Structure 1
C-alpha cells in the first residue's frame, strides 16, 4: 500500500505546485507596433476588437517614444486593456542618438562592428552591454518609458546578444549552415569587453584556442546582459512598475543560441517566444518548452507567459491547443505575435477558449 500512497502524494504535490503559480487569473496578451500617424479613434476601434476577442493586455512598441505611449495608454485602459511598454533594448536599429557614437556598438570575433557590418539583417544594430555609455543610453530609455503614467511594465525585447545560432527553420533563408560557432556571428569583442574580461580572468578571448568552450568568456557575456536587466529592474520598480521581457524559449536554449540566461535575472515576468515553427517542432513543443522554463524558475517569483506565433499555426484548433498546453504546463498566460496577424477567427477562438477556462 505504500507505493500507491506515495504516487498519490507526488501527484497531489504537482497539482498544488502548479496551482500556486496560477493564483492570478490566466491572462491573454498581444504584441503590437504603434504608428503615431493613426488616429485615437482608430486605436479605440483596434483595442475594442482585442478586448472583445478575449485579450487582456497589449504590449506596445512605440519605438521608445514616451509621448506616443502616453497618448495610447488611456485609450487602451478605457477599453479595459492593460498596457506594457515594449522596447527593443540592446538591438537599437536607427537609434539617432546611438548612431552618433560608433564605438557603442558590439564587435564580432572577426573584428566587424554592428555599426556598419550588421549580421543577418540590416536592422541588427546591437549596442554593447558592457560599455558604460551604451548601457546608460539603454537604461535611460527604460526610465523614460517607466515614467509614463498607467503602464503595467517596461517590456524588454532583444535583451541578449546577436544570434550565434539561428532557429533551424531560418537557416535556408540565409543560405547558412551553423554546425559550430562562426566568428561573424560571435559578439562582443569590443575593446571595453575584452579589457574588462582580461582584468577579471587574466586572458584574452581574441587569442583563446576555442572560445566556444571557454565558460568564463560565455559567462562574462551572460552576466553583462544580466547586469543590464538587473539595473532595469531597479529603475522600473523605482517608478512602481514591473519589468518583463520577451525571451528565447527556455533558459538552456537561450543560453546556447543568444547568450541569454533569463532564469538568473531579477525580473517580474518573462514571455518566452515559444514559436514552434521556427524550430521545425510540432504543437506539443509549446507545452514542452513552457514546462522547461517553469521548472528552471522553480522557487523564484518570476512568472512565465507563453508567447505564441500566430503565422506558425495551421488552424484555430492548433491555436486552442497551444493555449491549453501553456496553461497545463503552469504558464500564467499567453501572448500572441502579433496584432496584425490575429484574424477574426483567431479572436473568436481565443475568447471561446478563455471562457472555457473559467
Structure 2
C-alpha cells in the first residue's frame, strides 16, 4: 500500500516536533540542574557591636561580598534597632541579612534575670539563674513555663518585624549540653560516660508537674532518667513547640525561620535535647565543627549527608556550618566541596571576623566556580 506524500509530510513534521520538545525538555532540565548548582550559598555568622561605626560595618560587609559571601547572620543581642541600622548597610553590599538570636540561653537578659522562676532547673535541683552549667553565659530558660517561652517568642517577633531581613535565625534553641563534644571535655576537666545530674535539665516544678499529669510518674523519682524515653521526648517536644510557634510568628511577618543546630538530628537528640528534623523550619545550619569532636575533615561530608538524608521529603534546606580558625585555605576548599557533594544548599563560616585573607581567597575562588 502506498502512503500519500501529504501523510508522509505530516509524519515528518510530527516527528520533528517531538524531537524538538524532547530537546527543549532536556535543555530545561540541564538549566534547572545548573540553577540548583549555582544556588549554593556562602554565609557567615558575625556579632555586632553597637559602638562600631557604620563605615566600619560597610567595610566588613564589602569584604564579605567581594569574596563570594552572599549572606550574613548577625547577632545584635536581640536589639531590633541595631539590626534595623545594619540591615540596609549589608544589603547595600549585596548581602542577605538574617537576625541571629540566642534563644533559650539568654546571657545577660535584664528582663529574664528579674524572674528567677523562668530558668531551667537541673536534676540536682539547681536553677540556671544562679548555678550555670559549664560557663557563666549558660543562662538557660525553661521552654515549658508560659512566661519564659513567651519572652523568647516576643524577642523573635521583634526581630521578625525588622524590614529587609530574610529570616530570624535561632541559636541555642535547645536545653544545656547533657554531653559536651568530646574534643571540649579536657577544657573542663570532665569525663562524661553517662548523663550527669548537674547537666540534666529541666526538672523545674512546671515541667515535672506537666509530665506527671501526662504520664503518671515523677522524673525526680527515676533511678536512671536516661532510660525513660517519655521523659526525654517530653523535653524534645517542648523545644519543638517553641520552634513551631516561632515559625508561625516569623511567617506572619513575611520572613523565614532558620536555626543553628547540632551536627545531625540523632546526635543533637543525644547531646542537647534537640531533634531538628521534626521541626517546622525553613533552613537549618548544622554546626559541623569536626575538630570539636576529634573528627577528620571528611566527617563534614558524612554529617552533612546524614542531616540531608534525615530531611528527605521535607521542605527544610540544610547549610553546612564549619569552624574556620584551625583550617588552612585548602581545608576551606575541601570543606566546601564536601558540603556540596553531600547535598547541602550552602555553607556558613564561623565566624566572619576570624576569616583570614587566605581563607577568603579560597572562598572567593569556590564561589566563582560554583
Q: Could you say which TM-score interval applies, normalised by the shorter chain?
A: over 0.9
**Deviation of the 1:355 alpha carbon:** 1.1
Equivalent residue in structure 1 for 2:57, among 22, 38, 43: 43
**Deviation of the 1:199 alpha carbon:** 0.7
Equivalent residue in structure 2 for 1:196, among 210, 213, 217: 210
Equivalent residue in structure 2 for 1:116, among 130, 151, 155: 130
Aligned to 2:348: 335
| Aligned partners of 1:197 and 1:203 also within 8 Å | yes
| Aligned partners of 1:276 and 1:312 also within 8 Å | no
Distance in 2, matches of 1:61 and 1:19, equals 34
Distance in 2, matches of 1:312 and 1:92, equals 28
Pair 1:325-2:324 in alignment: no
Provide the alpha-carbon RMSD of the alignment: 1.4
SS of the residue aligned with 2:44? strand
Pair 1:65-2:57 in alignment: no
- Superposed CA deviations along residues 6-25 of structure 1, whole A, max 9, x for unmatched, are xxxxxxxxxx9x96994770
Following superposition of structure 1 onto structure 2, how do residues 75-224 of structure 1 map, counting pairs within 5 Å?
75-224=89-238
Distance in 1, matches of 2:168 and 2:33, equals 27
5+ residue gaps in structure 1?
1-15
Aligned to 2:249: 235
Distance in 1, matches of 2:269 and 2:43, equals 26
Distance in 2, matches of 1:123 and 1:80, equals 33
**Structure 1 length-normalised TM:** 0.93
**Deviation of the 1:209 alpha carbon:** 2.3
- Superposed CA deviations along residues 113-170 of structure 1, whole A, max 9, x for unmatched, are 0001000000000000000000000000000000000000000000000000000010
SS of the residue aligned with 1:58? strand
Distance in 2, matches of 1:132 and 1:201, equals 20
SS of the residue aligned with 1:307? strand
| Aligned partners of 1:22 and 1:330 also within 8 Å | no
SS of the residue aligned with 1:223? helix
Pair 1:316-2:318 in alignment: no
Pair 1:350-2:363 in alignment: yes
CA spacing shift, 1:101–1:236, aligned 2, 3 Å: same
- Runs of 4 or more off by more than 6 Å in structure 1? none
- Superposed CA deviations along residues 63-93 of structure 1, whole A, max 9, x for unmatched, are 0000000000000000000000000000000
Aligned to 1:280: 294
Q: Which has the larger radius of gyration?
A: 2
| Aligned partners of 1:287 and 1:326 also within 8 Å | yes
Distance in 1, matches of 2:267 and 2:54, equals 40
**Deviation of the 1:257 alpha carbon:** 0.3
5+ residue gaps in structure 2?
1-29
Following superposition of structure 1 onto structure 2, how do residues 249-328 of structure 1 map, counting pairs within 5 Å?
249-313=263-327, 315-328=328-341
Aligned to 1:12: none
SS of the residue aligned with 2:325? helix
CA spacing shift, 1:183–1:268, aligned 2, 3 Å: same
